[in-house]
Structure 1
Amino acid sequence: MSLDLFAPIAAAYTAGTGKDISTFRYEDAPLSSPVIVISGVILYLVAVHGGAYLMRDRKPFKLNGLFRIHNLLLTIISGALLLVFIPEIIPLLANGPHYALCSAKAWNSRLEFLYYINYLIKWYELLDTAFLVLKKKNLEFLHYFHHSMTMALCFSQLHGRTTVSWVPITLNLGVHVAMYYYYYRAAGGHQMWWKKYLTTLQITQFIIDLACVYYCVAKRITFHYLPHLSTGDCEGGGWFAGYFGAAILTSYLLLFIHFYFKTYKRPAAAVNKKKQ
């Protein structure tokens, strides 16, 4: 008898709402409006730059204890949610890759609820930036663009009901287990040697994401506009969600590759040049 890791979540949902989780629809839950998401992104960006401006003549806050708790909490949450996701995805894969990535039947209320929880976590992760602002750490475009757009991206895929959502979400959760654990240890004063490999892992994540997302978008385009090249449709998701997801993930890949070369390759090349 297999262990149903989703069962405690379903039981808690029923206890809290008096409804069966099979009736869950994200549209009825908090923060489920596009207006709220757009407003949240705008307010976040204003707070980021406004906070940095207000902190310019102030001493940085230490906050190491709170920062460690924050990162440890996100490590645990990311790992726990990933463990719940895995048994929900296996039945999809049993029907084949195309079904798991493209079939509208591969979207169900259990996965929708997990996608919604992941979306809520993206709101909480915006606190990463608050810590950086208050500690007067360097705020790169990559950081606040990635945080704000990931929250918007998760909502767009939830709203568009894209079947492929499980791919970037589960990969992201796995990366976040390593990433937030890294920050938890680093904030405690530990010298972590594997930051470079963490960035490599993030880049690899986006390459896999894009291979799956491009497949879905290409299947849909050829089915509707190039039928002579088509071998079937990818009906699991809306047009906007597909294009938006492909665009944002592509921008992430390019930005992280640029970050990798700027952070690791250029300094190493400069050191080697001095040694010559």
Structure 2
Amino acid sequence: MAPSSTTTTTTTTARNPTTRKPPPTEAENKDGPAFSLASMGLRVEHLNGTEARGGNGSQKPVDVFPIKRLAKVGVSAKWGIIMTTVNMVYGHLMVGRHFSRDPRQDQWMLMQSPFPTYFLTICYVLGVTWLGPKIMEGREPVPKIRPIMVLYNLFQVGFSAYIVYLFLMGGWAVGYSFQCQACDFSNSPQATTMLQGSYWYYFSKFVDFIDTLFFVLNKKYEHISLLHVVHHSLMPISMWYGVRHQPGGHVTFMGLLNSFVHVVMYTYYLLAAMGPRVRPYLWWKKYLTSLQMVQFVLVLAHSVQLAFVDCPGVPWRVSWWICGNSLMFLFLFANFYRQSYFNPDKEFSHSIQSAKIVSPTLLSDLSNGISNGVSSGISNGVSGSEVNGKVSNGTPSGGSRRRVADTACETLQLCEKMALKSRLGAI
């Protein structure tokens, strides 16, 4: 039986190191994602293609770009588990041992023990940082998911607005003191409303997990950052101890502010999920990040003031816990803001320098390939040719070729990101 054309091409290239592989055909790369730089007058496609495997000419899709992003996701997973465990230990030693549980919620779902909350959170961290990306490896992003994202964000806007309403009617709009407010454990209508608001705020932290699920299904691993994973993972276990032992009073101010920010945030996500037609009106993204930082500053000030006033009805162990987490989130959000809106040129320069270090011929290869719509020297996701594991014609082989393609994809995506920000006026 005559060997397939794919096998013939691969064998010829291996025997003649000076021969470059021909550009991939449209059929070979019909499933490969395209990186569009139309705003810069450029277009480079098919950087993710297929890699020859085995002697029968069979080919298997290879994801090139997510390599570095998944490495960062692994760091996020580690810190997500660490911070969740630290918060659970603090809650057990400093809150659970010193304050009695609210008997009104003894039969409520997930309120009997903190361990189900901790278990669900660890499953979330491992699912979005390890299992989910592993399942999506070699697969295309899930198609036609936008309508589901629109409905989800619309639900989140309504749900968060309802929680804001409960917090306001439970006390913050009807007589709560912003200086010192003890928790009311009675069965009065106002105290019950505040209890319901606190519980639904805790429950909403599990609903927020779906945010990361969409990132995985869309293979947007760059969004599964340290800030994102830590924030989503430590909130449920922290809120469990807060709701179980202090479901009202001074400490619920954080829940009120955070729910209001979520109304604004999910409104932004709702508009963004509607597609390119709405994106020119999303210039206010950086102000959303600023609003999140203002939130933590207000929560810090509201909690720190207890050090200067006599307020025996508010446990200092809970208020200082809120201070610590708010300070950490303020730092993480400020770092995100700085990297996103103040140092894009530095980040782009770093990517270019990385490309030069990995492969001196990368930039020239890219410039030669841009005119043809494919990168010169990169065919089916493999850069250059390999003879006995050595470099041929100045092009890296083996593990280096993955780094070359990875850096190329990262640089191109950053170019597109900067161009988009310029159009939206975000920089």
TM-score between the two structures when normalised by the length of structure 2? 0.51
RMSD: 2.4
The one-letter code of the counterpart of 1:264 is Y
From 229, 248, 260, the counterpart of 2:337? 260
Asked whether 1:27 is paired with 2:106, we answer yes
1:185 aligns with one of 271, 274, 277: 271
Q: Tell me how far 1:208 sits from its aligned partner.
A: 0.3
Q: CA deviation at 1:258?
A: 0.4
Deviations 1:93-132 (A, max 9, x none): 3xx43333xx244883321121001111111111111111
Shift of 1:53: 2.6
Match of 1:237 in 2: 315
SS in 2 for 1:99: coil
Q: Distance in 2 between matches of 1:28 and 1:249?
A: 30
Alpha carbons of structure 1 residues 209 and 59: separation in structure 2 relative to 1, 3 Å: same
Gaps of 5+ in 2: 1-101, 349-427
Distance 1:211 1:53 in 2: 43
Taking structure 1 as reference, are residues 110 and 71 closer, same or farther at Cα in structure 2, changes over 3 Å only?
same
Residue by residue over 1:144-179, the C-alpha shift from the partner in whole angstroms, topping out at 9 and shown as x without a partner, is: 111111222222211230622321111111111111
Q: Which amino acid aligns with 1:177?
A: V
| Among 164, 169, 175, the residue aligned to 2:255 | 169
Q: Does the CA-based 8 Å contact 1:153-1:248 persist in structure 2?
A: no
The residue aligned with 2:204 is: 121
Please give the alpha-carbon distance, in whole angstroms, between the structure 2 residues aligned to 1:267 and 1:261: 9
1:237 Cα offset (Å): 3.4
Read off the aligned partner of 1:141 and give its amino acid letter. Answer: L
- Once the two structures are superposed, what CA deviation does each residue of 1:211-270 show, in whole Å capped at 9, x if it has no partner? 112223x25xxxxxxxxxxx523422362x334322211111110000000111112677
SS at match of 1:188: coil
Report how far residue 92 of structure 1 moved.
Answer: 3.2
Q: Over residues 52-80 of structure 1, what are the superposed CA-to-partner deviations in whole Å (9 max), with x where a residue is unaligned?
A: 23223211113111011100110111112
Name the CA distance, whole Å, in 2 between partners of 1:232 and 1:195: 40
Select which of 48, 72, 75 maps to 2:157.
Answer: 75
Provide the rounded CA distance (Å) in 1 between the counterparts of 2:179 and 2:296.
19
CA distance in 1, matches of 2:241, 2:345: 39
Match status 1:201 vs 2:287:
no
* 2:156 is the counterpart of 1:156: no
- CA separation in 2, counterparts of 1:37 and 1:245? 19
Aligned partner of residue 97 in structure 1, secondary structure: coil
Which protein shows a greater Rg?
2
Please list every run of 5 or more consecutive structure 1 residues that lacks an aligned counterpart in the other structure: 1-22, 220-230, 272-276
SS in 1 for 2:174: helix
Question: Which structure: greater helix fraction?
Answer: 1
| Length-normalised TM-score, structure 1 | 0.77
| Partner of residue 230 from structure 2, selected from 138, 145, 160 | 145
What secondary structure does 1:57 align onto?
Answer: coil
